[in-house]
A = this chain, B = another copy of it.
Amino acid sequence: MSSTFGKNIRISIFGQSHSEAIGVTMDGLPAGIKIDQAKLQQFLERRAPGKNKYATQRKEADKPEFLSGLVDDRTCGAPLTAIIRNKDQRSKDYDHLKDCPRPGHADYTAHVKYKGFEDLRGGGHFSGRLTAPLCIAGGICKQILEQRGIHIQSEIVSIGGNEEHPYDEIEKAMKTLDSVGGIIECTATGIPVGIGEPMFDGLENKIAQAVFAIPAVKGIEFGSGFEMAKMQGSESNDCFTYIEDQVKTTTNNHGGILGGISSGMPVSFRVAIKPTPSISKMQQSISYERKEEQELTIKGRHDPCIVPRALPCVESAAAIAVYDLLLSATAKGEIREEYL
């Protein structure tokens, strides 16, 4: 495992779906930052289950308990740790999964890597539930960035390929005991020019690294992304111009990033989310013990589509990466004073 991210800010996520608690430590936050708890809670509720009819109906408070790092809701310079207790985590029986990995999940790969000692209750550390602490860290970074005029938001581009009526596809998947994937677009505005540490810690490198921490993500593209692969240079190059004495580009195929560094245009990227791997339909799997195929039916309720709940997760990954790189640039005096 390597559930640690960042250089000047280090995010360390811990917990399994059914361990005592899940949580996150943020080390390196400047002191004196005010955290708006109500706003953070609002942000977390966007990913919480049971919030719309397409999501699992399990009701969880997901209210973080802050163990350290805050004094009167302000950062104090010490590492900030927040946890969320898991409830009823011992209630279910996951013994049947010991012998039969769920398709599309990490059951099999974790089983080999951790030699049978993995926590397979509810997907363990691989559970989508671990995006809750990601969102705590992301929500905090988002608030800090907003205090500096940087805003990160995201929206659903399509579900099941349907851009017009994405939610219709969720309905269809529900009816057929199936699930469906989708695409999310995330945009960050207000990032000053000069953020990003190429070659390996450029904005694209670090946003991509962070975004792939979200379990179901299978692709990422910046600006016009894969469309640029079809273009000619005269189309894809964004022309420079001046708008109110500020250098801008007339188009934004580059997605606000040139050479790994922010250009002052909106940073935009799209993320491909695969269908929820847990489906109620019967699937083909194997028995480790008998070394042969066996059928598997996963019981319980499952999100037919996790794309809506993935929105704050994608924003969180972006916020963490952008904030860490903002600090790297600040360290070297590369950011204009008003951002300090």
Taking a contact as CB atoms under 8 Å apart, the answer to whether B194 and A205 are in contact is: no
Taking a contact as CB atoms under 8 Å apart, the answer to whether A286 and B230 are in contact is: no
Question: A residues 246-277 with Cβ under 8 Å of B?
Answer: 247, 249-250, 253-255, 257-263, 272-277
How far is it, in angstroms, between the C-alpha of A10 and the C-alpha of B25 when the chains are bound?
Answer: 12
For A237, list chain B residues within 8 Å (CB).
Answer: 103-104, 275, 277, 279, 283
Decide: A241 near B74, CB < 8 A? Known: A12-B27, A182-B229, A198-B126: no
Taking a contact as CB atoms under 8 Å apart, the answer to whether B222 and A221 are in contact is: no
For A235, list chain B residues within 8 Å (CB).
Answer: 275
Taking a contact as CB atoms under 8 Å apart, the answer to whether B240 and A286 are in contact is: yes
For A161, list chain B residues within 8 Å (CB).
Answer: 229-230
Does A168 sit within 8 A of B, measured CB to CB?
no
A-B contacts, 21 of them at CB < 8 A, read A1-B79, A1-B198, A2-B28, A2-B199, A4-B10, A15-B67, A28-B197, A31-B113, A77-B125, A103-B249, A104-B237, A106-B198, A113-B334, A134-B199, A158-B229, A161-B229, A199-B213, A205-B208, A219-B228, A239-B284, A242-B293
How far is it, in angstroms, between the C-alpha of A173 and the C-alpha of B293 when the chains are bound?
Answer: 52
Residue of B nearest to A281 (CB): B234
Decide: A333 near B330, CB < 8 A? Known: A20-B66, A178-B234, A199-B130: yes
Given contacts A12-B25, A109-B258, 16 further A-B contacts (CB under 8 A): A1-B27, A2-B197, A7-B8, A8-B8, A14-B69, A20-B68, A28-B197, A77-B113, A160-B229, A208-B212, A218-B224, A218-B225, A218-B228, A219-B222, A233-B281, A242-B292
How far is it, in angstroms, between the C-alpha of A239 and the C-alpha of B330 when the chains are bound?
Answer: 35
Does A21 sit within 8 A of B, measured CB to CB?
yes
Taking a contact as CB atoms under 8 Å apart, the answer to whether B65 and A20 are in contact is: yes
Taking a contact as CB atoms under 8 Å apart, the answer to whether A117 and B208 are in contact is: no
For A76, list chain B residues within 8 Å (CB).
Answer: 16, 114, 117-119, 124-125
For A340, list chain B residues within 8 Å (CB).
Answer: 333
Taking a contact as CB atoms under 8 Å apart, the answer to whether B25 and A25 are in contact is: yes
- Copy tally for this chain in the complex stands at 4
Taking a contact as CB atoms under 8 Å apart, the answer to whether B213 and A200 are in contact is: yes
How far is it, in angstroms, between the C-alpha of A335 and the C-alpha of B134 when the chains are bound?
Answer: 29
Select which of B130, B218, B241 is within 8 A of A221 by beta carbon.
B218
For A117, list chain B residues within 8 Å (CB).
Answer: 31-32, 71, 74-77
Does A91 sit within 8 A of B, measured CB to CB?
no
Does A61 sit within 8 A of B, measured CB to CB?
no
For A158, list chain B residues within 8 Å (CB).
Answer: 229-230
For A116, list chain B residues within 8 Å (CB).
Answer: 32
Decide: A210 near B220, CB < 8 A? Known: A1-B77, A105-B258, A228-B275: no
